[in-house]
Structure 1
C-alpha cells in the first residue's frame, strides 16, 4: 500500500520510481530528478531530488554530504515526499537545494568545431554569412545547465544502515521545468504557404470557456530559431513570466509562444511570411479559445521585438499594447506606431537598439506625440524597478521608453520581463477602436 501511494505521488509530480537501480546510479538510488526554474539567462537547476530504495535518516544529512559540480549547495535534507520542505524528516527522498539566479553577463554555450563547420556549410548554401529573413539558423543560442552530483559523506537509513560515500559522480535521470512544463505544444499550418509553425500554448488553470482571457504573444530572438519547440520557454523569461502562478492568480491569461523554424526579420528590414502565419495563428486561437479580443498583447526580444513592430504595422487594430525589448525597425515607416500603446526597453550597452529606438521616439515627438522617457539602474532590486515603472506609467502617456544603464543586448531581456510595474501597465491597456 505504501509503495502504491508513493507511486501515485511520484506520478503527480512527474517523477518515475524505478523497480530497480539504474546501472548509472549509485547503489540504493532509484532515480534522480532535477527541478529547474527559468531565469533571465535560461533554465537552471534549483532543486535535486534523489529517490532512495528505503527511507533516509534526516539527521545523518548535512550541507557537505553531497557535492554538486559548479553549484553552491544551500540545504540538504530528507523528506517523505519528492519536493521542497521547510524542515527535513525521514523519508525516501533526499532534497538538495542549490543557489540559482540570473547572471547578467551570461553567454550562450560556445560552438564546437563541429558547430562552426555546420554554420559555414549553412552559410555557403544560403549565399553568405549573416542572418537573413527566411533563413535557418543553428538554433543553438541557448544557456545550458546540468548537474553532476557526488556523495561525499556516508549517510544512514532510518533503520540505521550506512550507505557509504562514493567518488563516482552521477547525474539526473529526469529534469522538470517549473511553469514551462505547464505549456502544451502544437502545430499550426499556414494558410498561405502550407508550412508548419510550431507553438507553445498556456491556458489558465481552471480555464472557463464562458469567460474572456487576455492573450500574450511572445516572439523569441534569432538565437533559438530552428531549435526545438520548447526553446522559447527555457531560454529566458519572455513567455513563462506570464504563466507564473503569482501572475496568473491576479491576471489569468492565455500565452502563445511560437517557435520559428527560420529568422523572421533581418537588419535590412526584410521579414518572412511566418509573420503573416503568426497573425493567422492568433486569429485561429481567438476562434478556438475564450480570448478577450480587446486585450491581445505582443512582446518579444531582439528579433521578436522587431517582429512585434512589424505585426503592429501590419495589423494596427489587432493588439491592445506591446512590450518591445532590445529591438529596432526602419525609422521612416514607424510613424503609425505612435498611435499604439508601447513600452520600449533597451540597454544603454545595446548601441544598435538604443540608437534606432531613439530615432523612432524623435520621429513621434516631431509629429506631436508625447513620449515618457526614463533611465533606470538595471541592477536595482526588482521591487525598486517596479516602483519606478508605476511612477513612469502614472504620467499618463501611452508611449513609454526605458533605458537600462549599462548592460548589453542579451542582458536587456534578463531584466525586462520581471519588472512587475511594466507587466501591470501592459495588462491595463485596451485595444483602440
Structure 2
C-alpha cells in the first residue's frame, strides 16, 4: 500500500467522520417538546408545539414541510429565540410549529369501547343498579387530550451549518400547557349535608384585590365529563374558560367557579341530586372567603349544567342575578316562577327536546304577562356577527330572551354560545 493510497483513506475517513458529525437526527438534539393548547367551544385542542433544541436553528432552513404533527394540519413553522409564537421567525434554539385548530360543529363524543361500557356498567352497579338517574356516575369517558407527537420530515440546519436530517423518530411532548385553563386553581368542598367531596376549579382575576367586589360566574358542565378529573370541566368546552379569557376579563373582570361533579346531577326524568344543594352551599361559602358582589352572581351551564342551573334558580330564586341557559330543558309546567328572573336561553333547532320544552316554558311566561325577546341566528355566523345579533336582542330591553340557532345539534349549541361577546355583555348587565 503506497503513501497516496494511505493518505486517500485517511482523508476519506476524516471527511466521513466530519459528515457524520454534521448530520444528525433531530430527535437526539431536542431538549424538550411543549404542546400548547387552547379551549375552544368543542374542547381543548393543541394549537402550537414548541421544540427546544441544543443549538440555535436557522429560520431559513424551516418550512411547513419540515415537520408533521400526528393528526393535525401544520400551518406555520419557524424558529425563535423565545418559546413563544411570533409574526416573524428569527434564528433561535426554539422551533415553533403552529397547527390548525378550529371548532368542528359536527364534533361528536368519543364512541365508547366495550371496555368503556363495562366500566359504566360497574359504576352503575356500585351506585345501586342500572340506568341514568340523578346522582349516578354514567359520564366521565369523553377525552380532550393536550399532548402532541411530532415527526421531522425535512432536513433542518443549525445557525452553524450543521444538518439535522429528517427521520421517523417520534418526538412526543414532554410538557403540556393549556392557555387560560391553567390559570384556574383546584380545590375541594365538603358538602355540609352529606360529607361528600365536590371538586371545583376557581379563577381569580390576575390583579384580584380583596378590597374590590367582583361578580361571580358559576359554570356547570354536561353529563359527558361527570366523574372525570377535576380539570375536565375546563377542557370539555369554553363554558368556564370563556369568562377568564384576557379579552373577556378586560371587559368584565370576574371570578369564575367550575365544579367537576362526581355524579350526574340531573336526568331527563326531572330527577336531581343533592349535589345541587352542595353547589349552593359552595357559593355561599365562597362569599365568606372572597370579595364577591352578592348582587351579581350568575349561573350558566350546558345540557346537564343548564338543567342544574334551572333547578337551583327554582330552589333559590334570590341567589342569581342572571342566567345563561345553553342546550338544556326542564319540565315547563314547573318553570313559571322563573319569569321574574333574568334569563337568556340558547338552543339549536336540531336539538328538538331542548328547543321544544324551553319554547313551552317561554309561552307560559308570555301567558303570565312577561315579554320575551326571540330570534333565530344562523349558526355559521362569525363571532363579530353573532355579537351584532346579540346586541340587537339586548337593545329590546327585555329580561327574558330566547335564541334559536339554525340546524345544529344538541352539542353544537355550546360550541358557539359561550364565545359571543354580546351575550356575555348582557349577563354582566344584570343585577339583583
Q: How far did 1:173 drift? A: 1.1
Asked if the contact 1:42/1:144 (under 8 Å) is kept, the reply is no
1:148 corresponding residue in structure 2: 149
2:390 corresponding residue in structure 1: 389
1:4 corresponding residue in structure 2: none
Q: How far did 1:233 drift? A: 0.4
- Structure 1 unaligned runs (5+)? 1-23
2:5 corresponding residue in structure 1: none
Corresponding residue SS for 2:65: helix
Q: How far did 1:167 drift? A: 1.5
Asked if the contact 2:26/2:167 (under 8 Å) is kept, the reply is no
Q: Deviations over 1:86-108 (max 9, x none)?
A: 11111111000111100010112
Asked if the contact 1:148/1:169 (under 8 Å) is kept, the reply is yes
Q: How far did 1:294 drift? A: 0.7
- Distance across 2 between alignment mates of 1:224 and 1:117: 17
For residues 242-321 of structure 1, what are the structure 2 equivalents within 5 Å?
242-321=243-322
Asked if the contact 2:146/2:178 (under 8 Å) is kept, the reply is no
Task: Rate the CA distance shift 1:417–1:253 in 2: closer, same or farther, 3 A.
Answer: same
- Distance across 2 between alignment mates of 1:129 and 1:376: 39
TM-score using structure 2 length: 0.92
Q: How far did 1:126 drift? A: 4.5
- Distance across 2 between alignment mates of 1:314 and 1:112: 38
Larger Rg: 2
- Distance across 2 between alignment mates of 1:270 and 1:254: 30
For residues 31-46 of structure 1, what are the structure 2 equivalents within 5 Å?
31-46=32-47
Q: Which moved more, 1:70-79 or 1:117-126?
A: 117-126
Corresponding residue SS for 1:95: strand
Is it true that 1:76 corresponds to 2:77 in the alignment?
A: yes
- Distance across 2 between alignment mates of 1:188 and 1:127: 25
- Distance across 2 between alignment mates of 1:175 and 1:192: 37
1:9 corresponding residue in structure 2: none
Asked if the contact 1:109/1:144 (under 8 Å) is kept, the reply is no
Corresponding residue SS for 1:70: coil
Q: Deviations over 1:154-189 (max 9, x none)?
A: 111111111111112222111100000000000001
- Distance across 2 between alignment mates of 1:253 and 1:227: 26
Is it true that 1:112 corresponds to 2:113 in the alignment?
A: yes
Q: Deviations over 1:291-327 (max 9, x none)?
A: 0111100000000000000111111111100000000
- Distance across 2 between alignment mates of 1:170 and 1:111: 29
For residues 185-200 of structure 1, what are the structure 2 equivalents within 5 Å?
185-200=186-201
Q: How far did 1:152 drift? A: 0.8
Corresponding residue SS for 1:102: coil
Q: Deviations over 1:256-314 (max 9, x none)?
A: 00000001111111111110110110011111101011110000000000000011111
Is it true that 1:404 corresponds to 2:395 in the alignment?
A: no
Asked if the contact 1:47/1:97 (under 8 Å) is kept, the reply is yes
Q: How many matched pairs?
A: 408
Asked if the contact 2:36/2:146 (under 8 Å) is kept, the reply is no
- Distance across 2 between alignment mates of 1:36 and 1:107: 19
Corresponding residue SS for 2:365: helix
Is it true that 1:96 corresponds to 2:105 in the alignment?
A: no
Q: How far did 1:112 drift? A: 2.0
2:20 corresponding residue in structure 1: none
CA RMSD of aligned residues (A): 1.4
- Distance across 2 between alignment mates of 1:298 and 1:230: 19
Is it true that 1:350 corresponds to 2:354 in the alignment?
A: no
- Distance across 1 between alignment mates of 2:150 and 2:313: 48
Q: How far did 1:143 drift? A: 3.8
